[in-house]
Structure 1
Amino acid sequence: MITFAIYDVFTDRPYAGNQLAVVFDGQDLTGAQMQAVAKEFGYSETVFVLPATVAEADYRARIFTPEEELPFAGHPTVGASIAVTRSGRVKARDGKVVQECAAGLMGLQLDGDTAKLTSTVLAVGEPLDVETAAATIGLDPAKVLGRPGRASAGLEHNFVRLADEDVPAASDHLGVLNRIYLFSFDPETHAVHARLFHEGMTEDPATGSAAVALGVHLVAEGLLTGDGVHTYEISQGTEIGRPSRLLGEVVVENGEVVAASVTGSAVQTAEGTLTVLP
C-alpha cells in the first residue's frame, strides 16, 4: 500500500506556504509512474521518500514537478524531513537527519515541526543580461538594482534585485529564462521580499532552494560582507494569497561561502492512499 501526506511548508499554519505531497513506500514505482503521480497531485513539487542507497543517509528523496524530476528542491526537502520523522519512518539522531538526493547529501536539523536545511553544494554562475532579466519580469531595465546573476545551492536560480515597491509590480514573461527569482533586500534589516516565476507552474509561494542560493548570491554581489554567519528573513507568497516565511543563513570563511541554510516549518493538512497506480 502506497500512502501519502499533504504538507504546507514554510508556514506555521495550514493553508499557507507551499503545498507538498509526500509519497511513502514507493520504491517499486518507476520514474515514469512517479512523474504521473506528481502530475496528478499538480503541486509545484511532489517528493517520494525511498530507502537510502548510501550509508551516510537516512533516506533518499526523488523530487518531481508536474513536468520533470529535479535534482534538489528546498520545500520538498524540508517537508520530507519533517514527514518522515513525524510518521516514525526515520528516527533523528541528535535532532539530525541526512537526505540523499540527486544533488548530493543534504543535512537537516529538526526541532519539532521546524527543520533547518544546510547545503554545501554551492556555486556562483555567470551574470545575467540586465535587459533579459527585466524583460522576463515585465519591468523596465532601469528598475533592476545592481547586477543580476546566477547561483546554486543544489539547484541553479536566476536572481534579479528590485526596490521593494517594484516586487509586486513584476509579472511573468518567461522565455529565454525558464525560472527567475526577483527580490528586494534591505541592507540594514536583511529583510527580503521575494517572488519566483517558474515555467510550467504558477508562481511559487515559497522556494527553499532559491532561499539557500540567495545567500550565495548576496555574498557574491557584496550585499553581505565579512566573515562569519549572516542571516536574512524572506517573505514570499503574499501576492498569491499563500504567505510564507523562510529564514536564510550563510557562513563565510576567508571571503567564501562555505555553507548555506534555510529554516522553515511545515504543517500536515491531509493524508491518504494511492488506490490506483499509473
Structure 2
Amino acid sequence: MGTKIRRRATTSTTRPSTRGQAVPTRRATTASRTLPTRSPLGSNTVSPASRETYALVTVVTGWKATVGAVNGPDALDYEIVDVFAPRAFAGNPLAVVHDADALSTAQCQALANEFHLSETSFLCAPTEPGADYRVRIFTPYAELPFAGHPSVGAAHTLVRAGRLAAGTLRQECGAGVLDVVVDDEGATLSGGTPTLEDGPAAEELARALGLDPADVTGVPVEVAGCGLPFAYLSVRPDAVDRAVPDPAALRALSVGEGVSVLSWDAATATATARVFAGDLAWGEDPATGSAALGTGVWLVETGLLPGDGTTAFTVRQGEAMGRPSLLRCTVTAAAGKATATTVRGTVVPIASGRIRVPQG
C-alpha cells in the first residue's frame, strides 16, 4: 500500500487551490434544495502516481472570509453527486463529506439530516489492514453498515478529486472490506456474501403494496441480499407503477430493509423496479445498489437466471419518481446458488461546497 496522501498546511501566503470540479445528488424530494456553493478556498489535492491510501487531512489557515461563504477550520468540503445516473439530475443523489475522521456519530447524523438525501457518505482514513479508505453511511435517521449507491458515489468522488488513483479500491465499511473498481465514468461494486431466506406470500405482499393478487406472476417472494436484505415481488409490467405501499401492512411483513416490486423481461435480461423502505422512513428510492445486488441472488434462486456461471442483467429504477436510473449488474452462480454479485453505475457531479461542523 502506498504512502498516505497529505496536504501541506496553508498560511496567509499559501492558499489552497480550487479543485474546480462540479459534482452530483439522491432523492427527488430534495431536488429543489438550495445547496451551499463551493468555497473559492477549496482544498489542495494530490494526484497520486500510484495506489495511495486516503488519510485525514488537517488544514490550519488564516481564512480570508467572503460575504456568504462558509469558511474556517470548523467547516468541511462536501460534494453532491448523482449515482446510477444516465445524465445529470437523474439517478440517486448522494452527499459526500470529505475528511470526516474527527466527526462523532451524532455530528454525522446531524449533517446527514441537514442534507436530507436518502444517504450521505462520510470519508475517513481506513482502520482495517488492506483497506484504502473508510466510509460511514448515514440516512437522515440512522447509520447503515452498507449501501450500494453511497459506496459507488464515494469511491468515484475520491478518484475524481485526486485523493486516490483509479482502479480497484478496497472500501472499509460496516459490512467489511469490499472491492470497488473505479474508472472515469463511474464504479463497479462487489457485493458481500449472498444471503437468502423465505419471504411472505406473494399475494399478501401484493396487497400491502396496494396491488391485486392477480398482478403477481407466481414467482416466489424471497428476501435476498449481499449486505442489506430486500424482499422481491414479481408482478406484471403494468402493475409496477400502480404500487402504493400501505405503511402498517408493510411493517407487519418480513421484508428486510424494504421491498423491490419488479417486472422481469427475460428477452433483455432487464428488471424494471421500484424499491420501498420496509418502514417507509425514506419512502421510495430512485436507485438502490444494495437491492440490485440482491436482485441477482433472487433471480438465480427462482430460476430466472442460470444457476451456473456469470450472467449480466440490468435494473431500471426511478422512472416513476422522475429520476431514471440504470444499474448494470452481474451475478455468479454455482449449483443453483448465487455466489457473487456486482453492480455498476455512472456518477455525475452536480454541486460542491463547504458545510459547518455541528457542535458536539
Instruction: Please report the RMSD computed on the Cα atoms of aligned residues, expressed in angstroms.
Output: 1.4
Check if 1:271 corresponds to 2:352: yes
C-alpha separation between the residues in 1 aligned to 2:240 and 2:202? Answer: 16
Q: Aligned partner of 1:240: which letter? A: M
Asked if 1 retains the 8 angstrom alpha-carbon contact of 2:307 and 2:337, the reply is no
Asked if 2 retains the 8 angstrom alpha-carbon contact of 1:232 and 1:248, the reply is yes
C-alpha separation between the residues in 2 aligned to 1:81 and 1:12? Answer: 18
Name the TM-score, length of structure 2 as normaliser. Answer: 0.74
Name the TM-score, length of structure 1 as normaliser. Answer: 0.95
Check if 1:111 corresponds to 2:183: yes
The residue that corresponds to 1:256 in the other structure is 337
C-alpha separation between the residues in 1 aligned to 2:204 and 2:267? Answer: 29
The residue that corresponds to 1:149 in the other structure is 222
C-alpha separation between the residues in 2 aligned to 1:70 and 1:276? Answer: 21
Deviation per residue, 1:123-177 (Å, 9 max, x gap):
1122222243112211112222211110011001111111111101111223324
Q: Which moved more, 1:113-122 or 1:204-213?
A: 113-122
Check if 1:49 corresponds to 2:123: yes
The residue that corresponds to 1:133 in the other structure is 205
How far off its partner does 1:276 sit?
4.4
Asked if 1 retains the 8 angstrom alpha-carbon contact of 2:112 and 2:119, the reply is yes
C-alpha separation between the residues in 1 aligned to 2:151 and 2:321? Answer: 22
Name which of 144, 150, 173 aligns with 2:246: 173
- Listed as ranges, the matches of 1:29-48 within 5 Å are 29-48=103-122
Deviation per residue, 1:209-265 (Å, 9 max, x gap):
000110001111111123111111111111010111111110112332221011100
Check if 1:187 corresponds to 2:259: no
Asked if 2 retains the 8 angstrom alpha-carbon contact of 1:160 and 1:181, the reply is yes
SS in structure 1 at match of 2:170: strand
SS in structure 1 at match of 2:259: strand
The residue that corresponds to 2:28 in the other structure is none
Deviation per residue, 1:90-135 (Å, 9 max, x gap):
224xx11011111112111122121111124211122222243112
C-alpha separation between the residues in 1 aligned to 2:311 and 2:329? Answer: 8
Q: Aligned partner of 2:94: which letter? A: L
Asked if 1 retains the 8 angstrom alpha-carbon contact of 2:203 and 2:216, the reply is no
How far off its partner does 1:63 sit?
0.6
C-alpha separation between the residues in 1 aligned to 2:130 and 2:337? Answer: 26
How many residue pairs are counted as aligned between the two chains? 276
Regions of 4+ moved over 3 Å: none
C-alpha separation between the residues in 2 aligned to 1:197 and 1:173? Answer: 11
Asked if 2 retains the 8 angstrom alpha-carbon contact of 1:206 and 1:237, the reply is yes
Q: Which moved more, 1:193-202 or 1:74-83?
A: 193-202
The residue that corresponds to 1:200 in the other structure is 281
How far off its partner does 1:8 sit?
0.4
C-alpha separation between the residues in 1 aligned to 2:105 and 2:208? Answer: 32
The residue that corresponds to 2:231 in the other structure is 158
Unaligned runs of 5+ in 1: none
Larger relative strand fraction: 1
SS in structure 2 at match of 1:40: helix
C-alpha separation between the residues in 2 aligned to 1:119 and 1:97? Answer: 14
